[in-house]
Amino acid sequence: MKIAIVGSGALGSLLAALFSKAKADAVLFSRSKERADKIEREGINVEGAAGKWKARVKASSSFAGISGAGVVFLCVKSYDTKNAVSSFSPYLAKDAVVISLQNGLGNIEVISEAVDETRVIGGVTNIGATLLEDGGVRYAGKGETVIGRTDGKVTAEMRPIRELFSSCGLELRISREIKNIIWSKLVLNAGINALSAVLRLPNGALVKSEGARRIMRAAVTEAVRVAKRKRIKLAYDDPLAKAEAVCESTAANISSMLQDILAGRRSEIDAINGAIIRIAQESGIPVPVNILLNDMVKSIEDNYAG
């Protein structure tokens, strides 16, 4: 089975390296011809959880190469979803599935505008990955990946995907409640990502400071209220304890939003805290801490030039 990974950031690069190491027929797609050519020529250097090694990876900047792929993993930033899907969907095989491994809300809906919704699979992953300056990637930790369709159906295409992850030493779970799983991660990200980006601290530091801990707990509490109004059943009984546990178990991790801020890139704040704010406003729920975090991250982005 041919596999396409769209997005050559930290997660996409790591998956391409792991799949290639497992001898899977995988191709990494990047909008940057320069980056794709470099990866094709030099491979991807990986360091971290599995030591240091180099993966020889097929890479391309031409989305026409997606033709014939049975699975497409979408690993681009949420704000790039529409452009990416419109670029590769004309070449997509009718029986191919597209799996979103992205942050925030709205990605599945955007993909489904161009791809038959029965071919779209939602997902969340806790695989730790950081893009390094030389174009390599740091593999911070395995983590669990969960995939599923929003209609709850478990289809034949999902099992080979689980086997693919297993061949790479990765854990993948198939869920009939992927919407709840996506929301569950969103609630945690609303408390962790923006705060880590504003304070420029790794995850573990957020629970070492009482002030940071209070802000995180307040942001999560607001997000939980919004989720309950949407009748979402979260994957854990105590979201506040879960958020703190995540910070402790990923203490050295630099959140994806902090990675973006440090690199002077646009963040995914709109799809995380911004999504919480939009839904809260529709429901008349006050979310002042999420608004503050959202405004602070936006302010940082507005002042990159300075």
What residues are annotated to the active site?
Answer: 185
Tell me the backbone φ, ψ of residue 42, rounded to 5 degrees: -110, -15
Distance CA 50, CA 5 (A): 21
| Type of residue found at 292 | L
DSSP H or E segment with residue 190:
helix 178-199
Quote the tokens at residue 134.
Answer: 């030389």
Query: Do residues 143 and 172 make contact, with C-beta atoms less than 8 angstroms apart?
Result: no
Partners of 47 in the beta sheet? Answer: 138
Partners of 283 in the beta sheet? Answer: none
| Type of residue found at 153 | K
Distance CA 70, CA 129 (A): 25
Distance CA 164, CA 168 (A): 7
DSSP H or E segment with residue 244:
helix 239-249
Residue corresponding to tokens 């030039």: 305
Distance CA 243, CA 233 (A): 16
Distance CA 151, CA 48 (A): 37
CA distances, 28 to each of 7, 110, 236 (Å): 7, 21, 34
What is the β-pairing status of strands 144-148 and 120-125? antiparallel
